[in-house]
Amino acid sequence: MRTLKLGLVLFFVILAASCGGKKEVIVPDHISAGGVQTDKGMPFYERGCYARALDYFYRANELYTAIGDSRGMAMSANNIGVVYRSMGEAAAAIPFFEDALRMYRSLGDQENVRQTLSNLAAAQVDTGDYGAAGKNIDEALKIHIRGKPFAPAMTVKGILLAKQGDVKGAEAMLKEALDDISRRHPAGEAAANYAMGELLLGTARYREAVPYFNKALESDRKAGFYRGIADDLTALGHCSAGLRDDASAVNHWEQSVRIYALLGMEEKVRATMGMLDEAARRSNRDIALTRALVDRWLKGDMTDSLCD
C-alpha cells in the first residue's frame, strides 16, 4: 500500500518589500530561521526525497524550539511525522503527530488540529491500531472550518473502513472525498484516487481500478512526485496482471522499478523486480537492459541524483 501523501503544514516567513510608501518589515534572522529550513525541505519532500527533507525539518524544529515558538514547533513536529510515515515508519511518526496535536490544541488552532488528527489517524491505520485511528478521524471529521468537510480526513476514513472490511462504506466515503476534492482540494486528488484504486484492486475489480490509478499518476507527474509516480505505475502493473495482460504489466513495472532504483529504494526494487521477472518470463520479454540500469543506479552510478 502506498502511504498517503498529505498533511504537511506550511509556515512561510514573509518579508514585506518596501513599496508604495509602506515601511519594510524586517524579521530577525533567529525568528525566520525555522521557516527558511522548512522552505528548503519542501522541494525534497515533494519529490519524494524523504531523507533530505527530514534533515531540514529536524533543523527547523530545533530552531523553533530554541526560541520557544509553539506554532513553529507544532508545524515542524507534524512535518517530521509526515516524512517518517512517508518513509514507511508510521510508529516513529506517531509521537511527533501527538506532540503537534497537543500544541495545536493549546493554541486553539482548530484547522491544524483537524489536519494533525487526520495525519495521526493515518499513521495509526498503518500500524493496525484501528480503534485509536477511528476515534481520531471521527473527531477530525466533526471539525468543519467555514462549514466545509475535510477531504483528506474523508480519505483516511475510507481507508480505515476498507481495512476493517467495510468495502461498501469505504467506497462511499472515498467517492464523497473525490467529489469534494475535485471542487475544492485539488492537491489531495492523487491520494484519494490512489486510495479508491487500491480499494477496487483489493476486491479484484481490476478494470474499474485503472482509471483511478491513471488519475493519480497524472496528478503525481504534474507535481513531480517521483515516489508517487513509481507507486502508481506499480499499481497499474498489478491491474494488468490481474487482467492477465503480462505484457502491459511488464511495461508498467519496468518503469516503476527504474524510478525506485533512481531513488535508491532497494526494498521496493527487490519486490518489483520479483514480479517483473515472473511477468517477463510469461510474456517472453527480455528485461536485461532494465536489470542493468537498476543495478547501475542502485550503486549510485548516475549522472546526477534526483535528490540533489
Task: Give the end-to-end CA distance of the chain in Å, rounded to a whole number.
Answer: 27
- pLDDT for position 297: 94
Give the whole-angstrom CA distance, residue 302 versus residue 308: 12
* Mean pLDDT confidence for 60-66: 94
pLDDT at residue 300 in the model: 86
Higher-confidence position of 181 and 67: 67
Each residue of 216-275: pLDDT tens digit?
Answer: 999 999 988 999 999 999 999 999 999 999 999 999 999 999 999 999 899 999 999 999
Which residue do the cell numbers 516513529 mark? 92
> What does the alpha-carbon distance between residue 255 and residue 93 come to, in Å, rounded to a whole number?
30
Q: In angstroms, rounded to a whole number, what is the distance separating the alpha carbons of residues 162 and 159?
A: 5
Q: What residue type is assigned to position 267 of the chain?
A: E
Predicted confidence (pLDDT) per residue in 40-55, tens digit: 999 999 888 899 999 9
> H helices then E strands: how many in the chain?
14, 0
Structural domain boundaries in the chain: 26-146, 148-204, 225-301
Q: Is the pTM of this model over 0.75?
A: yes
Q: Please answer whether residues 40 and 299 qualify as being in contact, where contact means their C-beta atoms are separated by less than 8 angstroms.
A: no
| Cell numbers found for residue 277 | 521477472
Q: What is the pLDDT of residue 13?
A: 34
**Cell numbers standing for residue 164:** 476493517
pLDDT at 199 over 50: yes
DSSP one-letter string for 169-213: HHHHHHHHHHHHHHHH-GGGHHHHHHHHHHHHHHTT-HHHHHHHH
Q: Is 232 helix (H, G, I), strand (E, B) or coil?
A: helix
Residue % of the chain over a pLDDT of 90: 75
**Which residue type is seen at 19?**
C
> Is the CB of residue 234 less than 8 Å from the CB of residue 249?
no
- When pLDDT is cut at 50, 70 and 90, the band that residue 162 belongs to is very high
CA proximity to 112, closest of 9, 186, 4 = 9
- Give me 293's grid cell: 540500469
Give pLDDT, residue 4.
Answer: 55
For all residues of the chain together, what is the average pLDDT? 88
Q: CATH topology for 26-146?
A: 1.25.40
